[in-house]
Amino acid sequence: MNERRDVIVIGGGIIGLLSAWELAGRGHGVLLVDRRATGREASWAGGGILSPINPHEYPPALEALCRESAALYPEIAERVEREAGFSVELRATGLLRVAFHGEEEALESVARSLESRGHALERIDGDRARQLEPALSPSITRALNQREIMQIRNPRFLRALAVSAAHRGVEIREHASVSSLEVSGKQVIGARIDDRLVEAGEVVLAAGAWSATLMPPQLEISLPLRPVHGVMVLLERRPPLCSRVIVGRGRYLIPRVDGRLLAGSTVEERGFDRSVPLGAVASVLEDAISMAPSISECSWQRAWSGLRPAAFDRLPFLGRPADVEGLVVATGHYRNGLLLGAITARIVAQLVAGESPGAHAEACRLDRPRFD
């Protein structure tokens, strides 16, 4: 006899874990499946900033989703910590966007764009920036201080979320191979997991950059995703080198409570290559040292890479395919998987319940107009 669950969630990253957690909290029997250990791909590899690096460059619909999602995290973190029994280090550290000589006009343009979208910020000069963060380079002349920006320690959050999801009744199968979705006509009725059919009323496809490989060809659904390679570097310094997230020249520094410091990240098209090129590490370190020269005195820990699932317009694919029953797609979150996880999980649960997810999600529909 075939196994059966209310919902199968394919993918154990932040999108899959939070969706399973949310669905279980609403009373669904959930099976979550991952080809590796949960939370070990792009969600673990990122930095945990609960804000886009460059929100002023985002389509309004995506930025609105990001802000709505960030607002959900304090309550989610509190519940997850209570059920898991340890801290996920959600902190409102704030964020400094810095500019070097010659970059002041560009930073002011960013400031005006952020203010027009309702972001609170304070314009400060280089001296004031160094009062806040003494490690900053003397070459920094201007900065934008955004006090409300939060960060979460994503590896701890992923571990806690898996514990909390299991506490809620989610069955988690790690190192399990999903060979295909099972289809009957225009309905997805389950998935082949380790060569066995598991039936379900709903399947949530949240496998990140690998999602398109599982889309059944007979459904004729186009899901154009590509992996975008990114390298992160972990350093250590006690006492901590800085207290805020620092962003400059497209790179960032993220301080942790224990003195560790994340520096990131690269953005490269390398297919599914997960190697860590020395040139990418050197590029990250060069920009990090330009922002805070004393980083050169930090202790080296390690470097790693992640593959971000990217669509053609940086918006995720989130919704039900037209004329197909039993399938919800939640993938393509690019650099904002962790940030968008909370709102994505809510939308997934709404779709499974037959509820309308709201106007913002309309921009993420699978059949939206495309461009090259």
Give the per-residue pLDDT at 57.
82
Q: Considering the domain boundaries, does residue 91 fall inside one? A: no
The rounded percent of the chain whose pLDDT value lies above 70 is 99
Is 187 a residue whose pLDDT tops 60? yes
Query: Sign (positive/negative) of CA torsion 319, 324, 328, 332?
Result: negative
pLDDT at 37: 94
Q: Looking at residue 280, which CATH number applies to its domain?
A: 3.30.9.10
Average pLDDT over residues 123-151: 97
Question: Please, is 342 exposed, middle or buried when counting C-beta atoms within 10 Å of its C-beta (0-12, 13-18, 19+)?
Answer: buried
* 249-253, 317-321, 358-362: segment of lowest average pLDDT: 358-362
Strands 327-331 and 196-205: parallel
* pLDDT mean across residues, the chain: 95
Asked if 363 contacts 334 with a C-beta cutoff of 8 angstroms, the reply is: no
Domain of 351: which CATH number? 3.50.50.60
* pLDDT score recorded for residue 247: 97
pLDDT value at position 54? 84
| Residue numbers of the domain that contains 334 | 3-85+154-225+312-362
Dmax (CA) for the chain in angstroms is 71
Whether 196 and 218 map to the same domain: the answer is yes
Do 180 and 233 lie in one domain? The reply is no
- pLDDT value of position 61: 85
Residues 80 and 159 in one domain: yes
Q: What is the pLDDT of residue 351?
A: 96
Strands (E) in 265-368, as ranges, are 299-310, 317-319, 327-331
Res 161: pLDDT: 98
How many angstroms separate the CA atoms of 361 and 165, rounded? 25
- Is the pLDDT at 314 greater than 90, yes or no? no
Q: Tens digits of per-residue pLDDT, 22-54?
A: 999 999 999 999 999 999 999 999 999 999 888
Mean pLDDT of the region 100-119: 94
Provide, for the chain, the percentages of residues in helix, strand and coil under a 3-state DSSP scheme, each rounded to the nearest 5: 35, 30, 35
pLDDT of residue 58: 84
| Residue 217 and residue 108 share a domain | no
User: Does any domain span residue 367?
Assistant: no
Total tally of structural domains belonging to the chain = 2
Instruction: Note whether residue 93 is domain-resident.
Output: no
Nearest-angstrom CA–CA distance, 206 and 210: 9
Residues 6 or more apart whose Cβ sits within 8 Å of residue 217: none
- For residue 196, tell me if it sits in a domain: yes
Mean pLDDT across 229-258: 95
What is the rounded CA–CA span in Å between residue 97 and residue 110? 9
182 and 190 Cβ atoms separated by less than 8 Å? yes
**pLDDT recorded at residue 295:** 96
Asked whether residue 143 falls in the same domain as residue 39, the answer is no
User: Over 80: is that where the pLDDT of 87 sits?
Assistant: yes
Please state the rounded mean pLDDT for residues 249-269: 95
Supply the DSSP symbol for 94. -
